[in-house]
Chains A and B, each alone.
Chain A
């Protein structure tokens, strides 16, 4: 899904893959249906009496996270397993700036920073941490990078947990400021929240779609394939990588700040490893590198996690009650979500590694080995370089 029709006259395969003819039409309709669906959802929800308005907020918010991670993993090819850390940093920045329990005396005394200003500051702070994490990992690739980012993702919640004088530790921070727009009741009504997040989501889609086809998007793609060759073409690996980290983190910071304000209470265990993996699952399920796919993957996983599990729970409880089985009547299916997602992820990797809705490039990449050995050889050559 793209915000704007792609520029004309470019080639038809590869990373700034720009559709022509039928494919472009399909993309355009996808965009229209997507935007329309997102805007009309509360109305549909009301008419059908689904009662999903509160559930739609975390689902949409996590799609924003997925879009940000997609920049890092899908576009730039940097496997980041600690993405939730930036989510936490965004959330805590929001709390620091707007909470009555903020460690900043000025804020505590009642001078809350405006929500929207705080949102941008949170995002900037997260981006800064993105650069701080990115800088020492510039020389790492693949598994090694994954391990370092995994460590970062573990460290951030631990630091929050163990500095109660600043972050209130496991007790969490509450209350947190919320947007104040005359006529809208953010404090009690989920609908304004929904539209706020959808607006952020649309801006995110627009930005990532434009970036992908931009100069830096090409640099990411080249870097993903062969760092040495990309540098020889004139790609500055340092700034290109750091930019990917910073941008990905800033999306996460946005999402985190809204999340904190929406929930009104944040605690370190909300940002553990499972969050990073959940977001990673979304982009892998949907199709790495493909914005429409990422959104679809996010919707699907969000739906399963927030809505389908509830249904199944109800079903199981009903069956349990009907046949008089106590265990079934009180079983909580959603406690097995890690198991269910794990199985689903393994199944995806075996059956459809390119995701449900892959980008053309990714599909090509994952099936490249079957077609030619050249790519594999290049990869080996890169590894040798890294070892040097």
Chain B
């Protein structure tokens, strides 16, 4: 059974249909990426999984648990952490407080929390240096690290990452993707939404291509990177 399964999901913004029957699966331990152009529905898919949006049709399942009608604040308790588009860190709180907020839903003892703080500091030493600094004054790259770190603090089973490369300098993009790989190597399952298809496919195991609300291709990341359509449309090659 796949860890996370999205089946024939239709999601609307008012009367505008953003997803027209999206289905995808994420197996335990994978990095799965969702690529596509602006407006294809990548972010909508993630937000539907995270419970921020409700699908009009279709189901989202986590193991044998139906997430479709579970509100966003409960979904994080079921092991799905969402690092949203545009990071949306709490910019007026300190770095430490942002991380603590990430663990808001957890009820396990402080010693367990301390382990996760350590893990986040290890992944992102820059954050540890800036614990008391206001998050809004961090650089874009550091803010992205904080957004990922905050999501990890929930100790999720699946990590949903929305456009972690957005607005970052190329060298930082590489650093962030390297970190995502590290997190995955520690056993975290990742569903990654990216416009930077080249980077995304270089670290993912499998990928889906979204076009105007539909999945048009799904294959291993390696095959997708070699696929002619993908190369032309998303990797900018002739």
Contact = CB atoms under 8 A, between A and B. Distances in A.
Contacts of A364: 92, 134
A368 B91 contact: yes
A375 interface: yes
Contact of B104 (A11, A15, A16, A219): A219
Given A13-B134, A364-B134, A225 B86 contact: no
A374 B136 contact: yes
Given A14-B94, A388-B13, A235 B132 contact: no
A230 B97 CA distance: 13
The listed residue with most A CB atoms (<10 A of its CB), out of B74, B76, B90, B143, is B90
B88 A13 contact: no
A381 B88 contact: yes
Contacts of B101: 218, 222, 230, 233
B89 A14 contact: no
A155 interface: no
A165 interface: no
Contacts of B93: 13-15, 221-222, 225, 361
Contacts of B143: 374
Interface in B126-175: 131-134, 136-137, 143, 150, 154
Given A12-B132, A364-B134, A218 B91 contact: no
Interface string B1-18: 000000000000110000
B67 to A, nearest CB: 14
B105 interface: yes
Contacts of A235: 73, 104
B73 A13 contact: no
B36 interface: no
A218 B100 contact: yes
Contacts of A237: 73
B91 A372 contact: yes
Please tell me the size bucket of the interface on A.
35 or more
B92 A228 contact: no
B102 interface: yes
Contact of A229 (B90, B132, B137): B90
Interface in B63-106: 71-74, 76-77, 81-82, 84, 86, 88-94, 96-97, 100-102, 104-105
A12 B130 CA distance: 12
B180 interface: no
A16 B105 CA distance: 17
B178 to A, nearest CB: 24
Interface string A103-139: 0000000000000000000000000000000000000
B71 to A, nearest CB: 8
The listed residue with most A CB atoms (<10 A of its CB), out of B94, B101, B134, is B101
Contacts of B81: 232
Contacts of B50: 232
B102 A233 contact: yes
Contact of A222 (B72, B86, B90, B131): B90
Nearest to B53: A388
Interface in A9-53: 11-16
A189 interface: no
Contact of A226 (B74, B90, B102): B90
A372 B104 contact: no
B199 interface: no
B133 to A, nearest CB: 8
Interface string A361-388: 1001100100110110110010000001
B13 A228 contact: no
25 contacts: A11-B97, A13-B93, A14-B97, A218-B97, A218-B104, A221-B90, A226-B88, A228-B52, A229-B90, A231-B72, A232-B72, A232-B73, A232-B82, A233-B76, A233-B150, A233-B154, A234-B77, A236-B73, A368-B92, A372-B91, A374-B143, A375-B91, A377-B86, A378-B88, A388-B13
**Smallest CB-CB A-B distances: 7 pairs:** A234-B105, A11-B96, A229-B88, A13-B94, A231-B72, A234-B76, A14-B93
